[in-house]
Chain A
Amino acid sequence: MVDNIGIVDTRNIISAVTDAYGIDMSDYTFTILKRRLIHAINTFGSHSADDFADKIRKKIITADDFLYTVSLEVTEFFRDPSLWRELRDKYIPEICRTTDSRIWMPCVTSGDELFSLAIVLNEAGLQGKTKIDALCPSQKHIDLIKKGGNYDQKKIEVSEANYTRYVGKTQFASYYTLTDNRAEMKPTLLNDVSIDVNSDILNTSIAKKYKMVVYRNKLLQFNIPLYDKVIRKLIDSLEIGGYLVIGNMETLEYSEASKKLQIVNANEKIYKKRVD
């Protein structure tokens, strides 16, 4: 069991990841990346950081498996219940007044936020009227989410409480089936969702701009230079008047590009793209 790694170990693994998979993690937040790498080292049964880097270089660990394991998960459905209530009651009905309403979730890992958004659309009576385009870092994420995920009892209990605070229109239990204390969300929730693999948001092409982008607690992963590039990409993907939603303790203030947005809900960190 490896319980700590240092800067040199971390840089060595980052270098191996770049060489083997062509993925650049050099501008990721050090402490978060370090913890995720320790988790990955132990998950893959490596006895040291060097051993893990070696397995990466030799591609004994596939890029897909690496990305699946190292990705930062969200650990609750309806995290920040008041945000989801605002989306359901105000912002999503607003963006759905026109046809061809589309929402982008460019980094879906455990699926909690994607299913939460799908439930919100359902409860706003807008299923079938809005499309969600989601990106997952790995195919393994997609395969799991398309089957409804596989969530433990602890997560479901926390999520039930969140759903109650969100003031859901039914019982949270009506959205999942429980087998051996593991919950699978109903795959029909994803009828309006298309999911593709992409681990690098900067390397995505936006064919048509979005009315809303939900990217909560994902900027946490990046140091300021990469954070700034990602924010520019998020803003570029939005229509004029479209909304960006980030985590409630995230801020855009370290990016010059944030001048292109105005905050419309400070508590829930909802921003609106200004007219150029």
Chain B
Amino acid sequence: MNDYKAIMIGGSAGSFQVVTRIIAALPANYPLPILMCLHRLKHIRSGFVEALSIKSKLPIIEPHDKEPLKAGRIYLAPANYHMYIELGNRFSLSTEDVVNHSRPSIDLSFFSASYNFKKKLVGIILSGANKDGALGLKSVTDNGGLTIVQDPKECQVPTMTQASLNATKVDYVFSTKQIIDFLLKLA
């Protein structure tokens, strides 16, 4: 259970409140890095980190290109860049074209993180209005990682979670509370 090296969360429409609840529940000494790729307005560069930070005991950071990944931090994919995790645990950012109408694309972040961390990654897909993230979560499964999908019945917009369930066999379908309990057990 404690072998995991990172947790990656993808979400879109309807995920903000869920993410806020998850962040608020994590203690200041939470040992794993949390990587969040959330769909956001690409022309608004500031404000999102500040909004998420209000209830967080952990520092929330938009990583710069080549920044090393560190435990005990929450990283948020910056506006208008795709966010990758390179071998060697550094972030890289890219201005490549949108994927699934999105930059950052959840699929692309999950592809690189699952390739890097293999079975030591926990991938979580939350509420969202398109299918971005579904193939990304499949790549977590394919690389031996652990997968969680927010229960579509609980999602404000279940398109993303349902697409993920259709794309791959997930380990757990959890409510927000169950996701929080699971993450706390990893600490």
Q: Is the CB of A249 within 8 A of B43?
A: no
B residues near A227, Cβ cutoff 8 Å? 66
Q: Mark A79-99, 1 if CB is under 8 A from B, else 0.
A: 111000000000000000000
Give the residue of A75, A80, A249 whose beta carbon is less than 8 angstroms from that of B65. A249
- A161 to B95: give the CA distance in the assembly, Å: 18
B residues near A81, Cβ cutoff 8 Å? 43
B81 within 8 A of A: yes
Contacts A162-B43, A251-B66 given; indicate if A73 touches B97 (C-beta within 8 A). Answer: yes
Interface magnitude class on chain A: 20 to 34
A residues near B108, Cβ cutoff 8 Å? 35
Q: Is the CB of A74 within 8 A of B95?
A: yes
Q: Is the CB of A75 within 8 A of B81?
A: no
A residues near B112, Cβ cutoff 8 Å? 31
CB distance from A246 to the nearest CB of B (A): 9
Between B64, B65, B97, B103, the greatest number of chain A beta carbons within 10 A of the residue's beta carbon is seen for B65
CB distance from A190 to the nearest CB of B (A): 22
Give the residue of B84, B87, B93, B103 whose beta carbon is less than 8 angstroms from that of A249. B93
Q: Is the CB of A220 within 8 A of B94?
A: yes
Q: Is the CB of A249 within 8 A of B81?
A: yes
Interface magnitude class on chain B: 20 to 34
Q: Is the CB of B65 within 8 A of A32?
A: no
B residues near A32, Cβ cutoff 8 Å? 84, 92, 94, 96
- A248 to B78: give the CA distance in the assembly, Å: 10
Q: Which of A28-82 contact B (CB under 8 A)?
A: 29-32, 35, 72-75, 79-81
Q: Which of A11-30 contact B (CB under 8 A)?
A: 29-30
A residues near B87, Cβ cutoff 8 Å? 30
Smallest CB-CB separation from B45: which chain A residue? A248
Q: Is the CB of B92 within 8 A of A224?
A: no
B residues near A137, Cβ cutoff 8 Å? none
Q: Is the CB of A75 within 8 A of B66?
A: no
CB distance from B29 to the nearest CB of A (A): 27
Q: Is the CB of A79 within 8 A of B66?
A: no
- A236 to B67: give the CA distance in the assembly, Å: 25
Q: Is the CB of B86 within 8 A of A72?
A: no
Q: List 12 A-B contacts (CB under 8 A).
A: A31-B112, A32-B94, A32-B96, A35-B108, A72-B94, A75-B103, A162-B43, A165-B43, A217-B95, A224-B66, A248-B45, A249-B93
Interface residues of B (CB under 8 A from A): 43, 45, 62-67, 78, 80-81, 84, 86-87, 92-98, 103, 108, 112, 115
Give me the 3 closest cross-chain CB pairs, A-B, nearest first: A31-B84, A251-B64, A217-B95
